[in-house]
Amino acid sequence: MLVAAAVVLGGCGGDDAGGSAGEGGTPSASSSGPAAAALSGVYDTRVTLTGSTCDGIEVEDAPTTVEQEGDTLTVSHAALVLTGTVGPDGAFTTAPQQVEVGPDTHALSAAGTVADGHLSAEVSAEVSGSQACRYTVSWDRDRK
């Protein structure tokens, strides 16, 4: 069986919360994004396959590390690393990342929200190679 590339491509990302502080140690917001400390961290992500036209896709829960600098957001889930933009309200989108899984290429991207210590996103995958199909996965959970 094929395990969804968006979920188990190897080890997990680090748990560096990152971010910068303003005067008095208070997190500072960028003019184009929310305060990094408000978003950055490790989220104990519940993963659910929400749709698939592919054969053999399975998913597993895994920690997700979110790192934010200004309006750039990096989301690491298992060995998958997606980078994109985040707005002042925590809404984000990532650029597609191509991942090879056996004979197939999975083009993965995510869109969602990270705010108030909660991550909610939909990961979309377009698969080519031995099969041409697509699947979607939801990520949902609170920061550890």
Ramachandran angles phi, psi of 22, nearest 5°: -90, -160
* Global confidence as pTM: 0.75
State CA 16 to chain mean position distance: 15
Residues forming beta bridges with residue 45, ordered by sequence position: 62
For tokens 């990532």, the residue is 94
* CA gap 116, 93 in Å, rounded: 18
CATH number for the domain whose boundaries are 2-11+32-142 = 2.40.128
* pLDDT tens track, the chain, 144 positions: 344 444 433 332 333 333 333 333 333 344 455 665 678 999 999 999 999 999 989 999 999 999 999 999 999 998 899 999 999 999 999 999 999 999 999 999 999 999 989 999 999 999 999 999 999 999 999 998
Name the pairing type of β-strands 104-115 and 118-128. antiparallel
Nearest to 62, CA basis, from 82, 81, 46: 46
